[in-house]
């Protein structure tokens, strides 16, 4: 996905600037062309020579010292994506207000490319209303924020504000560019214009106590790709998700954690949806009781009584409305086609997307997938190993074939 993509990597003066070196290396290894841009403060944290050595071209540091006469517009216009890593409180403020004080802040407002910002700062700064306001305003404008994590900070403090890991920032960049490609590839079709599509994504978490849960390996990538592609095809999309991943334009996200929250979020919207796609890995069992306080090992090995969760897909199958297309997923490790065919019938879905997660590069957490799409009419269709965006395209092609024509409204 990153091959040949031009990424401007803005580095500002936070102690986490050293992690930008690792991000740059990862991006270059994945085939991206990385243009490093450093603020003056960043150069107190890491050396420009290092950024140059691990980027794809010499680091840029000034509005005035570049061979290009108008460096900020050149950088902004030619970028496929700009990432600011780390993003200090200062750059967030400049970006929000449009104050073009240096090459990086000028580049940020001279671009139409997607922008990913990765804030890192002390907990007090991160929690300050000024910073939170700036973050909210930037998000509202479509800027993708990779939130900081909790953990040890410079100076021995512990709290929220630690830069997200280079791996997760890399994933957000890859996914954002992936989504852009999906939009570019499909935006003219408009095949789902006028349709409402409800997608679920991610694995649910069922609490055992305040710190432990029963979960699964789902990353939410396939569900998020489905939502992005459906929106790119013109649908009005709601994505009920358990994971904090950015979505492309036209996708309304509803955040949930448990199977029961997902059930409520889905069922309250199902009636209004032309298409429902259950890509989430929903827990089949949950602890019957959640301990209010952390279980202590001194109290012995707990016996956790489980109870069944409600099957959302099966409930949708029973309560379906005429003309609605319902899609299920099946992650299998053996007898994939037999299990998938029985699941399709049992749950009353129209389409079932089956994958064998025991195969390499397939399913959970990978950027790639390979599936067989089973149709309730008996047809099957194989999609061999490809990106999750391409799988989403194939699934939505199958959905479109089953959708009845839109009735023209009476006047």
Residues known to be catalytic: 216
Using DSSP's 3-state secondary structure scheme, residue 95 falls into helix
Choose, by CB under 6 A, the member of 309, 355, 356, 372 that binds ligand CTP.
309
**Which distant-in-sequence residues (6+ apart) come within 8 Å of 125 by Cβ?**
89, 131, 161
Choose, by CB under 6 A, the member of 104, 181, 259, 399 that binds ligand CTP.
259
Choose, by CB under 6 A, the member of 280, 326, 357, 391 that binds ligand CTP.
280
C-beta of 215: minimal distance to ligand CTP in Å?
13
Binding of ligand CTP by 278 (CB under 6 A): yes
Stretch in the footprint of ligand CTP (CB under 6 A) among 165-173, 219-227, 325-333, 382-390 = 325-333
C-beta of 316: minimal distance to ligand CTP in Å?
7
C-beta of 381: minimal distance to ligand CTP in Å?
17
Binding of ligand CTP by 328 (CB under 6 A): yes
C-beta of 354: minimal distance to ligand CTP in Å?
9
Binding of ligand CTP by 282 (CB under 6 A): yes
Q: What is the DSSP letter of 176?
A: H
Q: How far is the C-alpha of 227 from the C-alpha of 35, rounded, in Å?
A: 30
Binding of ligand CTP by 284 (CB under 6 A): yes
Binding of ligand CTP by 311 (CB under 6 A): yes
Binding of ligand CTP by 363 (CB under 6 A): no
Binding-site string for ligand CTP from residue 370 to residue 399, where x marks contact by CB under 6 A and - marks none = ------------------------------
DSSP class per residue in 285-334: EEESS--SSPPPGGG------EEEPP-HHHHHHHH--TT-EEEEEEEESS
Cβ(46)–Cβ(13) under 8 Å?
no
Nearer to ligand CTP, 170 or 329 (CB): 329
Nearer to ligand CTP, 22 or 284 (CB): 284
Binding of ligand CTP by 83 (CB under 6 A): no
C-beta of 152: minimal distance to ligand CTP in Å?
37
Cβ(30)–Cβ(174) under 8 Å?
yes
Stretch in the footprint of ligand CTP (CB under 6 A) among 111-119, 237-245, 278-286, 384-392 = 278-286
Nearer to ligand CTP, 46 or 239 (CB): 239
Binding-site string for ligand CTP from residue 338 to residue 357, where x marks contact by CB under 6 A and - marks none = -----x--------------
- CA neighbours within 13 Å on the CB side: how many for 90? 14
* φ, ψ at 19 (rounded to 5°): -75, -20
**Which distant-in-sequence residues (6+ apart) come within 8 Å of 350 by Cβ?**
325, 326, 327, 375, 376, 402
Residue 59 falls in which region: left (phi positive, over 0), alpha (psi -120 to 50) or beta: beta
C-beta of 331: minimal distance to ligand CTP in Å?
5
The count of chain residues that interact with ligand CTP, using the rule CB under 6 A, is 14
Choose, by CB under 6 A, the member of 84, 87, 330, 370 that binds ligand CTP.
330
**Which distant-in-sequence residues (6+ apart) come within 8 Å of 373 by Cβ?**
351, 352, 353, 354, 380, 381, 382, 383, 394, 395, 398
Cα-to-chain-centroid distance, residue 372: 24
Cβ(197)–Cβ(277) under 8 Å?
yes
Residue with token string 């460096």: 71
Bridge-partner residues for 403, per DSSP? Answer: none
Cα-to-chain-centroid distance, residue 154: 28
Choose, by CB under 6 A, the member of 148, 329, 389, 391 that binds ligand CTP.
329
C-beta of 75: minimal distance to ligand CTP in Å?
43
Cβ(36)–Cβ(64) under 8 Å?
no
Cα-to-chain-centroid distance, residue 345: 31
- Residues near ligand CTP (CB under 6 A): 259, 278, 280, 282, 284, 309, 311-313, 328-331, 343
């Amino acid at each position: 996905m990153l091959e040949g993509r031009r990424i401007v990597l803005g580095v500002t003066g936070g102690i986490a600037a050293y992690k930008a070196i690792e991000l740059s290396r990862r991006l270059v290894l994945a085939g991206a062309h990385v243009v490093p841009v450093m603020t003056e403060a960043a150069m107190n944290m890491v050396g420009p020579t290092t950024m140059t050595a691990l980027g794809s071209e010499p680091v840029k540091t000034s509005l005035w010292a570049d061979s290009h006469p108008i460096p900020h517009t050149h950088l902004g216009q030619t970028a496929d994506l700009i990432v600011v890593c780390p993003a200090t409180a200062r750059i967030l403020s400049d970006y929000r207000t449009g104050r073009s004080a240096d090459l990086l802040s000028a580049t940020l407002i001279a671009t139409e490319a997607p922008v990913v910002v990765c804030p890192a700062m002390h907990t007090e700064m991160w929690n300050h209303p000024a910073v939170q306001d700036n973050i909210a305003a930037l998000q509202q404008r479509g800027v993708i924020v990779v939130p900081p994590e909790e953990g040890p900070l410079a100076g021995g403090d512990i709290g929220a504000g630690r830069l997200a890991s280079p791996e997760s920032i890399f994933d957000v960049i890859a996914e954002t560019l992936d989504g852009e490609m999906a939009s570019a590839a499909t935006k003219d079709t408009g095949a789902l214009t006028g349709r409402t599509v409800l997608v679920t994504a991610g694995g649910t978490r069922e609490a055992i106590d305040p710190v432990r849960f029963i979960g699964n390996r789902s990353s939410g990538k396939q569900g998020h790709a489905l939502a992005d592609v459906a929106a790119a095809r013109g649908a009005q999309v709601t994505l009920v998700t358990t994971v904090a991943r950015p979505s492309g334009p036209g996708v309304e996200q509803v955040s949930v954690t448990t199977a029961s929250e997902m059930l409520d979020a889905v069922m309250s919207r199902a009636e209004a949806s032309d298409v429902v796609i259950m890509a989430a890995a929903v827990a089949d069992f949950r602890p019957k009781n959640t301990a209010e306080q952390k279980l202590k090992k001194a109290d012995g090995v707990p016996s956790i009584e489980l109870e069944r969760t409600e099957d959302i897909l099966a409930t949708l199958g029973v309560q379906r409305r005429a003309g609605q297309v319902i899609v299920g997923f099946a992650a299998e490790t053996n007898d994939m086609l037999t299990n998938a065919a029985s699941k399709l019938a049992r749950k009353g879905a129209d389409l079932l997307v089956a994958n064998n997660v025991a195969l390499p590069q397939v399913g959970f957490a990978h950027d790639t997938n390979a599936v067989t799409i089973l149709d309730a009419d008996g047809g099957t269709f194989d999609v061999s190993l490809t990106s999750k965006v391409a799988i989403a395209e194939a699934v939505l092609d199958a959905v479109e074939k089953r959708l009845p024509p839109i009735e023209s409204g009476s006047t």
